[in-house]
Chain A
Amino acid sequence: MTFLQKKKQYGILFLIALIALFFLMILSGTLGAADISFSESLRIMVSGVPWLRRFADAGSIRSSSRMILWNVRLPRVFLSALIGAGLSIVGATFQGMFRNPMADPYILGISSGASAGATAAIVLGWGGMVSGMGMTALFAFAGALLTTLLVYRIARVGNRLPTLGLILAGVAVGFFLSSLVNIMMFFHRDQMERIVMWTMGSLATATWGQVRILFPVVLLGSAVLFVFARDLNAMSTGEETAKSLGIEVEKVKKFLLALSSLIIACCVSTAGVIGFIGLIVPHSIRLALGSDQRVVIPFSAAFGAIFLVLCDTLARNLIPPSEIPVGVVTSLFGAPFFVYLLHRNKKKVM
């Protein structure tokens, strides 16, 4: 069965996934450390939507509860969904581009770059806020993009961008930047906890401002990446083959690299380094639904969002009031699930 013949089925399945995501997000909004009942949270959420306001009266509920729901919980739920989607889509794209089912969004050292940027900001004491965005976030963003540029420069050969060179350069630069981070941590032991906490990833201080930035980036970015799905399909069978099929391989690579880096830089600078999602979500989708990027990309986005919302909900509700860093939850819960999938598909393993 090919993509075309199954198009309708995929469409329905995707819709179901989106609906599931929606309900999961609502459910997540009702769970938290604060003492707000299920019905209260529902009423607050409904009354907050302009068209639905008349269906629920939230006037009797404490204003602090409403504050918590709208300013603390919901931005967090939305941010998780967006970041989960962003990371998964870039993972899917990289897996196709590098013809490596084990590629993840951080394969080009971008996470080390972001960490180095954030660490520099923390260590230099520039912890302030600039127009709503923390300096740490800005520095992390800059670090991520600069790393991509550096890796690109190192790997580039004339007009071409050899994929192997990219990966090797990414690994090398990644190691170097990690060492820089370690050195900075060593000489500022007192800041070590802060730096490590940042690196482990957290969505605790999610704001609507961040959601507003990430929403267009992830949505538009995903749409554009989806448009290149056919190109990626051809490229995953071999670069020379793809070229003989009429694809401007080098141009496409550069473009996809730039766009992916932008998406990842935004995600990582906002929430730290959340690992594992970008690897296992697309890979799992691939194991379940096949390698056609026109299927893998949208479903990775949907299930990536679902997965991270789930993990974040767990992260903040397992041992209240303490929070487990979400990056820890993704690995702890994602890994066994992934092993299970691999076990089921032993024949098809890579």
Chain B
Amino acid sequence: MRVRNQKKNADLVQYPVAVRGLSWRYGNRQVLSDITLSFEKGKLYSIIGPNGSGKTTLLRNIAKSLEPAAGSVFLNGTDIMDLSTRDVARKLSVVPQNTYIDFDFTVLDIVLMGRNPYISRLGSESREDMAAAEHAMRLTNTWDFRGKSINEVSGGERQRALVARALAQDTAVMLLDEPVSQLDLHHQIELMDMVLSLSQDRKRTILSVMHDLNLAARYSDFLILLNGGRVVVQGTPWQVLTRENIETVYHLDSCIVNNPVTGKPFLIYAKGI
């Protein structure tokens, strides 16, 4: 049993999230091998890579849903295993992929659940909690349908509500697991615009697992490209999205152009190799 040693690792304190030598396996399969990453405060990171590269697994390890087989995750220098579940929840929030909830909660109820880490078991939601929830919902444009059942609203609205919940959790770090994969084009842009604004205004560090390379390129400060459980390359979108990298990892011939609207790289896929 680990002794709760909250001794901080001095040189990692500056990073809201840091990963050192992280490995994880599922049965015989090595899903992540020796991942080392440092995430800077206030930046928006996208983790990209083909299916099976370990993106979601990496996110789940950072969120403490999974326990590493080797290596560690550090939040502001403290090993995540030395933090209680509640402590982690105050530093780190998660927006899951859109899942159907069998039960009839209102949107506001769902968002208020984000305040859980701050409410003692015997206590109840305070005015402060309500204010935080309202604030989060206004930011995400979900306040107007707060009384509706979470299952009645559209997919886009539901996803925004989940982001509101993570916002209400008032954490320095926010993790998103393929937040827009289920949404139509309009809602994809709408949601990512909102996420981007959160990062710029709040000094909040955001890690997002993304499927769509172009969206990732458009909205992120940095990209991390995974393949086969290892970090292939990390850096700015222009540094990561190169023809060679795409070829190596995705086995696709491609062409990278400059998106005139965003100034970010835009990927045009040619043919499979």
Contact = CB atoms under 8 A, between A and B. Distances in A.
Direct contact of A and B (CB under 8 A): yes
Interface of A: 1-4, 96, 99-101, 227-228, 230-231, 233-234, 236-238, 240-241, 243-248, 286, 290-292, 348, 350
Nearest to B151: A348
Contacts of A348: 104
Contact of A99 (B96, B102, B108, B113): B102
A211 B112 CA distance: 39
A103 to B, nearest CB: 11
A234 B109 contact: no
A245 B116 CA distance: 6
A290 B116 contact: no
Given A234-B113, A241-B96, A247-B85, A2 B106 contact: yes
Interface of B: 60, 63-65, 84-86, 88-90, 92-94, 96, 99, 101-106, 108-110, 112-114, 116-117, 119, 121-122, 124-125, 130, 146-147, 169
Given A240-B65, A244-B63, A292 B105 contact: yes
B116 A2 contact: no
Contacts of B86: 246, 248
Contact of A101 (B102, B119, B146): B102
A244 B109 contact: no
A236 B116 contact: no
Contacts of B114: 245
Given A1-B106, A291-B105, A244 B94 contact: yes
A227 B64 contact: no
Nearest to A249: B85
Nearest to B130: A4
A2 B94 contact: no
Among the interface residues B103, B113, B169, which one has the most CB atoms of the partner chain A within 10 A?
A: B103
Given A243-B65, A243-B85, 12 more contacts: A227-B121, A227-B122, A230-B119, A236-B102, A240-B60, A244-B63, A245-B114, A245-B169, A246-B117, A286-B104, A290-B104, A292-B109
Among the interface residues A234, A240, A286, which one has the most CB atoms of the partner chain B within 10 A?
A: A240
B102 A2 contact: no
Contacts of A243: 64-65, 85
Nearest to A347: B152
A230 B116 contact: yes
A234 B96 contact: no
